[in-house]
């Protein structure tokens, strides 16, 4: 037998033995064997991949303060809802704390524990009103906001401060060029900068949140009223849709397919002069981007009802099925106490007003004042608390917007959407 064959056989045998041994012991290489309830001083936190960074610093501090070790289970956003559904329905969870997107709270309200004791009066004052309202489902607080976000206006400061642009703009529109505060100003500025291969703004046909913010600005609740009646065909929704589609002529072609990633890329590449975008994007502009250092931030524009945005908070919730409730709640409390540590992360967000205010005057955090103003806006509201919301978004709202930005009749589209939503809610 040649030495080569001998070596191959030994290697194969070694590999097989290792695999069998690992299989027999049911070990993985991913970390400590800590599943829910296995150790009171360890909690497993299920988190969307983008939110992991937000909680890393918090977790380290909590370990120092409370002795609780934290393992993160990171999952992509698209798969997280399925995973949560699967584990909650089985009654056997692999995590002790879950970071839940706000739109999932109504779906999982029966699977997570009330944490009313953490919502003290002091805490409620330091959390944006819309979030306090959203965290309360059926009379109980079921999630502590970990971080929140909202769309604000990001604009090209260098273009807005250019002397020629200022003169030309005033000559054409009769008022000074500045960050827009109203729909009309947003339309004018978008039109003005749409020239020489550049566009004034983007129009996102692939996502619904931006249009819903305009609905709030127009003075209507989004899609459903307080009694769960479908109001998508009211005048405010139509005005908001007409405003939304009016910007198509000042936006890059293919609006129906533009989503968050595309819009962010367009802005970071210097193709658009303004974008309505989530506030975290301000701190995520690549250093080698042609617009780095040239971007200003302003609150979201206002309509007849004033400034409004749709908050994008994530909540920390404790599943009923965990055997590690005490440690899990301790972690949630600790995460609230050290909420400002999230701001130091790459995402750079928090949920407490005091945390944002602590950083708002520091260089590099210029987006925080507009964010606070938008989140405190009187018309700002969270999405309707219905378990069918994601289905409504995916099957009705986004397809309707895509048709609208492609030139569809807004009244007809909204009437059709109303019927579809009513059918979904039956």
Are 322 and 93 in contact by the 8 Å Cβ rule? The answer is yes
Cα–Cα distance for residue pair 165/94, rounded to 1 Å: 57
Please report whether residue 248 would count as binding other proteins according to CB under 8 A. no
Chain positions 356 to 375 lying near other proteins, rule: CB under 8 A, are none
User: Is 283 an interacting residue with respect to other proteins (CB under 8 A)?
Assistant: no
Which of 14, 67, 79, 364 binds other proteins (CB under 8 A)? It is 79
Burial of 313 (0-12, 13-18, 19+ CB in 10 A): buried
**Residue number, 247 or 263, with CB nearest to other proteins:** 263
**Is residue 236 classed as helix, strand or coil in its secondary structure?**
helix
Q: Which of 32, 67, 125, 412 binds other proteins (CB under 8 A)?
A: 32
- By CB under 8 A, the count of residues binding other proteins is 59
CA pair distance 148, 150, nearest whole angstrom: 7
Query: In the stretch 86-105, what mask flags binding to other proteins with x, by CB under 8 A?
Result: xx-xx-x-xx-----x----
Instruction: Classify 327 as helix, strand or coil.
Output: helix
Token representation of residue 266: 């367009």
**What would the x/- binding string for other proteins be over residues 193 to 232, using CB under 8 A?**
----------------------------------------
Return the structure tokens found at 253: 């072609």
Match 């210097």 to its residue by tokens.
Answer: 270
CB of 247 to other proteins, least distance (A): 18
Q: Which of 23, 163, 171, 226 binds other proteins (CB under 8 A)?
A: 23
Q: For residues 62 and 350, is the Cβ–Cβ distance under 8 A? A: no
Q: Which of 63, 181, 289, 360 binds other proteins (CB under 8 A)?
A: 289
Closest approach, Cβ 138 to other proteins, in A, equals: 26
Within its chain, how far is the Cα of 98 from the centroid? 16
3-state SS, residue 293: coil
Is the CB of 184 or the CB of 271 nearer to other proteins?
271
Between 86 and 391, whose beta carbon lies closer to other proteins? 86
List phi, psi (to 5°) of 47. -145, 145
Angle at which helix 183-193 crosses helix 163-173, to 10 degrees, equals: 120
Contact residues for other proteins, defined by CB under 8 A: 15-16, 19-20, 22-23, 26-35, 44, 46, 48-51, 71-79, 82-83, 85-87, 89-90, 92, 94-95, 101, 260-261, 264-266, 268-269, 271, 278, 280-281, 284, 286, 288-289, 312, 347
């Amino acid at each position: 037998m040649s030495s080569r064959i001998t070596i191959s056989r030994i290697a194969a045998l070694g590999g097989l033995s290792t695999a069998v041994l690992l299989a027999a012991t049911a070990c993985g290489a991913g970390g400590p064997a800590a599943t829910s309830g296995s150790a009171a001083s360890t909690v497993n936190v299920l988190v969307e991949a983008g939110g992991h960074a937000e909680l890393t610093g918090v977790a380290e501090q909590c370990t120092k303060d409370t002795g609780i070790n934290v393992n993160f289970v990171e999952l992509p956003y698209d798969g997280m809802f399925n995973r949560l559904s699967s584990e909650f329905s089985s009654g056997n969870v692999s995590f002790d704390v879950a970071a839940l997107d706000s739109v999932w709270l109504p779906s999982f309200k029966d699977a997570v524990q009330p944490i009313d004791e953490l919502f003290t009066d002091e805490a409620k004052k330091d959390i944006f009103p819309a979030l306090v309202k959203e965290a309360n489902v059926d009379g109980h607080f079921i999630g502590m906001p970990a971080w929140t976000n909202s769309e604000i206006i990001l604009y090209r400061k260098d273009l807005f401060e250019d002397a020629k642009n200022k003169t030309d703009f005033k000559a054409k529109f009769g008022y000074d060029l500045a960050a827009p505060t109203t729909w009309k100003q947003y339309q004018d500025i978008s039109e003005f900068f749409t020239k020489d291969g550049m566009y004034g703004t983007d129009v996102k046909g692939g996502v619904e949140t931006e249009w819903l913010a305009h609905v709030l600005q127009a003075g209507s609740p989004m899609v459903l009223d307080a009694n769960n009646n479908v109001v998508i065909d009211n005048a405010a929704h139509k005005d908001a849709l007409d405003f939304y589609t009016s910007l198509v002529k000042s936006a890059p072609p293919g609006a129906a397919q533009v989503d968050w990633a595309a819009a962010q890329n367009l802005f970071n590449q210097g193709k658009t002069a303004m974008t309505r975008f989530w506030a975290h994007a301000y701190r995520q502009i690549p250093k080698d981007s042609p617009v780095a250092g040239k971007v200003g931030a302003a609150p979201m524009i206002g309509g007849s009802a004033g400034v409004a945005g749709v908050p994008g908070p994530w909540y920390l919730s404790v599943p009923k099925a965990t055997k590690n409730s005490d440690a899990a709640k301790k972690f949630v409390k600790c995460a609230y106490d050290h909420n400002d540590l999230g701001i130091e992360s790459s995402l750079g967000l928090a949920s407490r007003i005091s945390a944002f205010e602590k950083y708002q005057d520091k260089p590099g955090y210029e987006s925080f004042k507009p964010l606070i103003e938008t989140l405190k806006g009187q018309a700002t509201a969270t999405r309707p608390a219905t378990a069918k919301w994601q289905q409504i978004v995916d099957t009705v709202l986004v397809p309707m917007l895509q048709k609208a930005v492609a030139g569809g009749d807004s009244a007809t589209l909204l009437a059709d959407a109303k019927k579809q939503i009513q059918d979904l809610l039956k």
